[in-house]
Amino acid sequence: MELTAELSFDHDDRRDIYDYVERHGSVEPRKVRRALEMEPRAFGHHVAILKRDGVLLESEAELRIAYDDELEEEFSSDGVQVTIRRAREEDLTGLVGVIRQAIGGGTYVDAETVADVVDHEEVLLRHNELQSRVFFVATVDGEVVGWVNLNTHETAKLDHTAELTVGVLDQYRGHGIGSELLERGVEWASDNGYEKIYNSVPEANEGAIDFLEAHGWEVEAVREDHYKIDGEYLDEVMLATTV
């Protein structure tokens, strides 16, 4: 199922199953069935149809939302072997830690907000009628070292835009990982019909601004004194790119 696919169910029980899995990220089938108080035979029938239609998949004995674009890409830089792939629910704890470590002094407010929301909801991926959330990660030796995240809105007036965050742990910068992640995120947005991507940072985050501008992003707006960090007012710099 494409993340942008319109949600449509021809049975209320299938909708309920989907909604439960979407809220919980990855969950054992029997837990879903008991929570929804469904008979085993009916539940198995509905799950089979959802799996057949590419809405759910079962992996490691748990149900989760099925998404397209599971392609893994690998590259090497100065002896560092990197894999870029779609994030999985089991990456959640490590990914939140990487985001918080990578943003350091708090000059990447949007990324900090993403980490807080994911940590609070305890669900990495989202796809419902209001919003969708997708992550791709960079891994080295199986450990997450960087990410790109896109948040999208499903309302008609905003469904052509996406908000992006991207980052890499300090010790893995300089290997082109951030560029690969950014390219993967932009490609995903283009493939899924989005027209414009935004990324907003405080003015003090000169590294992020320079990085995005080097990749063709442009400053579209500046909001004066939008942030208050450690008692200091800072402008918000909104950058954007068309896809």
Count of residues making up the chain: 243
Other residues' Cβ atoms within 10 Å of the Cβ of residue 145: 25
pLDDT of 4 reads 47
Task: Copy the structure tokens of residue 70.
Answer: 């599971």
Cβ proximity of 89 and 123 under 8 Å: yes
In sequence order, what are the beta bridge partners of 127?
A: 132
For the chain, the structural domain boundaries read 12-65, 73-242
Q: Contact at 8 Å (CB) between 3 and 192?
A: yes
Residue ranges in the chain whose pLDDT is less than 50:
1, 3-4
| Confidence (pLDDT) at 236 | 95
pLDDT at 160: 87
Q: Same CATH topology for 12-65 and 73-242?
A: no
The CATH class of 12-65 is mainly alpha
Looking at the domain 73-242, which fold is it? Answer: Aminopeptidase (3.40.630)
pLDDT of residue 129: 58
Backbone angles phi, psi at 199, to 5 degrees: -150, 120
| Dihedrals phi, psi of 33, to nearest 5 degrees | -60, -45
Alpha-carbon gap, residue 212 to 187, rounded angstroms: 15
Q: What pLDDT score was predicted for residue 141?
A: 94
Q: What pTM was estimated for this model as a whole?
A: 0.76
Q: Give the pLDDT score at 128.
A: 60
Task: List, for residues 69-113, the tens digit of each pLDDT value.
Answer: 567 899 999 999 999 998 887 888 999 999 999 987 778 989 999
DSSP string, the chain: --TTSPP--SSHHHHHHHHHHHHHSEE-HHHHHHHHT--HHHHHHHHHHHHHTTSEEEETTEEEE--S----EEEEETTEEEEEEE--GGGHHHHHHHHHHHHTTT--HHHHHHHHHHHHHT-S-EESSSEEEEEEEEEETTEEEEEEEEEEE-STTTTTEEEEEEEE-GGGTTSSHHHHHHHHHHHHHHHTT--EEEEEEETT-HHHHHHHHHTT-EEEEEEEEEEEETTEEEEEEEEEEE-
